[in-house]
Amino acid sequence: MKYDVIIVGAGPGGIFSAYELVKKNPKLKIAVFEEGYSLEKRKCPIDGDKVKSCIKCKTCAIMNGFGGAGAFSDGKYNITNDFGGTLYEHIGKKEAIDLMKYVDEINVSHGGEGTKMYSTAGTKFKKVCIQNKLKLLDASVRHLGTDINYVVLENLYAELKDKVEFFFQSPVEKIEVLEDGYRISYSKGAVECSQCIVSVGRSGSKWMETVCKDLDIATKSNRVDIGVRVEIPAVIFSHLTDELYESKIVYRTEKFEDNVRTFCMNPNGIVVNENTNGIVTVNGHSYEGADKQTENTNFALLVAKHFSEPFKDSNGYGESIARLSNMLGGGVILQRFGDLVRGRRSTAKRIEEGLVTPTLAATPGDLSLVLPKRILDGIIEMIYALDKIAPGTANDDTLLYGVEVKFYNMEVDIDENLETKYKGLYIIGDGSGVTHSLSHASASGIYVARRIAETI
Ligand SMILES: Cc1cc2nc3c(=O)[nH]c(=O)nc-3n(C[C@H](O)[C@H](O)[C@H](O)COP(=O)(O)OP(=O)(O)OC[C@H]3O[C@@H](n4cnc5c(N)ncnc54)[C@H](O)[C@@H]3O)c2cc1C
């Protein structure tokens, strides 16, 4: 069996590659290999009743399957070069923004109509932030919400399923370079293709490392972001979230001159577990539908750690810290801000008596036993800085869940076409280390699809 194009991974990178390839050349024979399940079969066993926390399934329904890591996400498509990846370094700033806008058009025309686009252009909060030593980053953000994001994925699948062959529960094991293409070995056999797009995301990072090693493709890695997820009553941040939905705010700490930033803000949302390669960390969602909204808002506060020679395993460092929290808390640890600054652990009783009701069942504990002092000091400083623009952020009952870790895939050596040194072998999305977001990963898929359509 020989395909024109094989796509490995059915996350946003893979889906938008397939979408654009079909659009540009409907005659192409395309296959998508995906380790996880089709969308409707993706079910996390946590039901809050019989299964309360992560049971470490072999294939994580949250991270793997049609829709990728983004399938149950909040569906925030940020249109910006300021964060979310460095795609612009390869393809140029204008092209990157144009592609993100094109992805937005596709989302809107596949179920996202009626969802809101927010923007920082002309907002008064820029001034308020800078007066309080905080910097608000520029972006437009389409908020699909977890429910509409799912509908968009359903519609994209319905449109693609008869034009592209999907192989679910089919993890690709090996890529071999042939004279005129590639042999792709997967769990049930092997197939060949002329061109191959690899888009395996964060969950495929370990496998990606082996592919790069086997094919002698250069990589580099030196960053991990570590922090906590903050949960507060939604009213405390509502003046910001009503206008901007998500505000990306950066604070430079006085003590260490580290940058701490807000990340993934979920107004009226819920805090969730995330399982990456068996390590349980924390993340957040929010829904567009009013019936699923909560009275809380959550966001992450992250400190970026860059390492220099000789240390290379930045993800290993982040994993060790997450493992420590898993060891002490059996999963995610939860602490009141007031308990943290008083140097005492939180208990179930103190949390229950507090004014903020947690949206995730996590183990009350002490984050200072897990997070390095430098990171913890930075987070505490930033909470006090945010308290100046959103009074109440530093209340005793503010909840902190830890740890949140943002792992970065090692950066793979790809050129301005997102192509490796092998002609026709493209590495895109979060798996390439170049993108870290829905919009950048999707845009990278459109970009390579157009390159391939031009060459075939
Ligand atoms: C809970 C959560 C919330 C998020 N919220 C947002 C948000 O609101 N906005 C935002 O911009 N970003 C968000 N993100 C990040 C976003 O989901 C990712 O940046 C995006 O999904 C990356 O797309 P991708 O296609 O590169 O990779 P992925 O979405 O990770 O998809 C990769 C796919 O490849 C498959 N795969 C891996 N290895 C193999 C293999 N060997 N063979 C076959 N298949 C394989 C995986 O199963 C997976 O389905 C969130 C992430 C999570 C986990």
Q: What per-residue confidence (pLDDT) applies to 57?
A: 85
Pocket test for ligand 1, best of 184, 265, 438, 439 (most atoms within 8 A of CB): 438
Closest atom of ligand 1 to CA, residue 72: 1
Closest atom of ligand 1 to CA, residue 13: 25
> Exposure string (b/e) for 131-160, b if CB count within 10 Å is 16 or more?
eeebebbebbbbbbbbbbbbbbbbbbbeeb
**For residue range 147-185, what is the model confidence (pLDDT) as tens digits?**
999 999 999 999 999 999 999 999 999 999 999 999 999
427 lines ligand 1 (CB under 6 A): no
For atom 9 of ligand 1, which residue has the closest CA?
A: 76
CA distance 366 to 335: 6
Closest atom of ligand 1 to CA, residue 436: 19
* Amino acid type, 244: L
Instruction: Compute, in angstroms, the gap from residue 47 CA to the centroid of ligand 1.
Output: 22
For atom 15 of ligand 1, which residue has the closest CA?
A: 437
Q: How would residue 243 be classed by pLDDT, with cut points 50, 70 and 90?
A: very high
Q: What per-residue confidence (pLDDT) applies to 174?
A: 98
- pLDDT value at 101 more than 80: yes
Helix axes 93-107, 12-24, angle to 10 degrees: 90
**For residue range 420-456, what is the model confidence (pLDDT) as tens digits?**
999 999 999 999 999 999 999 999 999 999 999 999 8
36 lines ligand 1 (CB under 6 A): yes
Q: What per-residue confidence (pLDDT) applies to 321?
A: 96
70 lines ligand 1 (CB under 6 A): yes
For atom 12 of ligand 1, which residue has the closest CA?
A: 437
Residue written as token pair 């596709």: 106
Instruction: Compute, in angstroms, the gap from residue 428 CA to the centroid of ligand 1.
Output: 12
284 lines ligand 1 (CB under 6 A): no
Q: What per-residue confidence (pLDDT) applies to 52?
A: 72
Q: What per-residue confidence (pLDDT) applies to 81?
A: 95
Closest atom of ligand 1 to CA, residue 171: 42
Q: What per-residue confidence (pLDDT) applies to 290?
A: 81
Residue written as token pair 């897990």: 370
- pLDDT value at 309 more than 90: no
State pTM to two decimals. 0.86
440 lines ligand 1 (CB under 6 A): no
**For residue range 255-276, what is the model confidence (pLDDT) as tens digits?**
999 999 999 999 999 999 888 7
For atom 30 of ligand 1, which residue has the closest CA?
A: 201
Pocket test for ligand 1, best of 437, 442, 446, 448 (most atoms within 8 A of CB): 437
**For residue range 205-219, what is the model confidence (pLDDT) as tens digits?**
889 999 999 999 999
Signed CA dihedral, 277, 215, 305, 134: sign only: negative
Q: Which residues contact 410 (CB under 8 A, 6 or more apart)?
A: 205, 208, 209, 212, 219, 220, 221, 315, 433
Instruction: Compute, in angstroms, the gap from residue 273 CA to the centroid of ligand 1.
Output: 15
Q: What per-residue confidence (pLDDT) applies to 74?
A: 81
For atom 20 of ligand 1, which residue has the closest CA?
A: 438
42 lines ligand 1 (CB under 6 A): no
SS3 per residue for the chain: CEEEEEEECCCHHHHHHHHHHHHHCCCCCEEEECCCCCHHHCCCCCCCCCCCCCCCCCCCCCCCCCCHHHCCCCCEEEECCCCCECHHHHHCHHHHHHHHHHHHHHHHHHHHCCCEEEECCCCCHHHHHHHCCEEECCCEEEECHHHHHHHHHHHHHHHHCCCCEEECCCCEEEEEEECCEEEEEECCEEEEEEEEEECCCCCCHHHHHHHHHHCCCCEECCEEEEEEEEEEEHHHHHHHHHHHCCCCEEEECCCCCCEEEEEEEECCCEEEEEEECCEEEEEEECCCCHHHCCCEEEEEEEEEEECCCCCCCHHHHHHHHHHHHHHHHCCCEEEEHHHHHHCCCCCHHHHHHCCCCCCCCCEECCHHHCCCHHHHHHHHHHHHHHHHHCCCCCCCCCEEEEEEEEECCCEECCCCCCECCCCCEEECHHHHCCECCHHHHHHHHHHHHHHHHHHC
Helix axes 12-24, 145-160, angle to 10 degrees: 40
Tokens encoding 265: 């803000």
Q: How would residue 70 be classed by pLDDT, with cut points 50, 70 and 90?
A: confident
Q: How would residue 55 be classed by pLDDT, with cut points 50, 70 and 90?
A: confident
283 lines ligand 1 (CB under 6 A): yes
Tokens encoding 355: 């004014």
Q: What per-residue confidence (pLDDT) applies to 308?
A: 82
- pLDDT value at 279 more than 90: no
* Amino acid type, 90: H
- pLDDT value at 292 more than 90: no
CA distance 142 to 278: 31
Q: Which residues contact 139 (CB under 8 A, 6 or more apart)?
A: 78, 79, 80, 82, 83, 119, 120, 246, 248
Q: How would residue 322 be classed by pLDDT, with cut points 50, 70 and 90?
A: very high
Averaged pLDDT for residues 370-385: 97
Q: What per-residue confidence (pLDDT) applies to 1?
A: 72
Closest atom of ligand 1 to CA, residue 64: 47
**For residue range 328-359, what is the model confidence (pLDDT) as tens digits?**
988 999 999 999 999 999 999 999 999 999 99
201 lines ligand 1 (CB under 6 A): yes
> Exposure string (b/e) for 221-244, b if CB count within 10 Å is 16 or more?
bbbbbbbbbbbbbbebbeebbeeb
Query: Taking all residues of the chain, what is their mean pLDDT, rounded to a whole number?
Result: 94
Please tell me which residue, 312 or 65, carries the higher pLDDT value.
Answer: 65
Pocket test for ligand 1, best of 430, 436, 442, 448 (most atoms within 8 A of CB): 430
Closest atom of ligand 1 to CA, residue 9: 34
Q: What per-residue confidence (pLDDT) applies to 28?
A: 97
Q: What per-residue confidence (pLDDT) applies to 387?
A: 98
Instruction: Compute, in angstroms, the gap from residue 9 CA to the centroid of ligand 1.
Output: 9
**For residue range 31-52, what is the model confidence (pLDDT) as tens digits?**
999 999 999 999 988 876 788 7
433 neighbors 408 (Cβ within 8 angstroms): yes
Q: How would residue 7 be classed by pLDDT, with cut points 50, 70 and 90?
A: very high
202 lines ligand 1 (CB under 6 A): yes
CA distance 371 to 401: 12
Signed CA dihedral, 392, 394, 400, 403: sign only: positive
397 lines ligand 1 (CB under 6 A): no
